[in-house]
Structure 1
């Protein structure tokens, strides 16, 4: 996946965050499931702000797209196999993958998928 694809996938992930407001550290935690490159992380935040997905105010990020939550039944796919969670690095036998229009993000364990999507 190239840098442009990572930016698109991360912006779409941010567009589906289920919280109205998050600390920047929580947003970066989600972005790190796509990239850990600090320059690319800044590019993602800039792109999300330019597209009206988020507003940045100091260390707080406000989401601007209500109602675009991930539908677990339709957008989260479970696969059996040997995986490492993209968020915490744990070995998992059931991977949860989120299908976005721009691509697929995962695998995640059952608790990490909820954290990435803002359900915990």
Structure 2
């Protein structure tokens, strides 16, 4: 695992369950990894160059089709966490296991929002 934010971001985009997202919704997901505009841009450009997403103006379409398996690739840990998306305090955190590294923690609602299950 590399914990490289660009690789984690690309792998997150590859695993989204959305048919399409607005650019703002896509950036909302990527802000769980980085708020640095250059890194966000690098994630989007890398994902597009690899054919993981297609961009049409302000619309992003994931084309990977490799959804996260909640039993094996999304794990829970008990502890004292802060959700990376909403900032809520958590006693149970949900973490995504991506090849580039573990990404989380998220609360139960935010993990579904980030992955596209909700």
- Secondary structure, counterpart of 2:24 in structure 1: helix
Aligned match of 2:77: 79
* Aligned Cα root-mean-square deviation (Å): 1.2
Structure 1 CA distance for aligned equivalents of residues 115 and 77 of structure 2: 18
Partner of 2:111, secondary structure, is helix
Is there any run of 5+ residues in structure 2 with no aligned partner, and where? none
Q: Give the drift of 1:44.
A: 0.5
In structure 2, the partner of 1:48 is: 47
Separation of aligned partners in 1, 2:95 and 2:62: 22
Normalising to structure 2: TM-score of the pair?
Answer: 0.96
2:103 aligned partner: 105
- Which one scores higher on RCO, CA 8 angstroms, separation ≥ 6? 2
Which segments of structure 1 move beyond 4 Å, counting only runs of 4 or more?
Answer: none
Residue 7 (str. 1) matches residue 6 (str. 2): yes
SS in 2 for 1:74: coil
Give the C-alpha shift of residue 64 in structure 1. 1.3
* Distance in 1 between residues matched to 2:94 and 2:61, nearest whole Å: 26
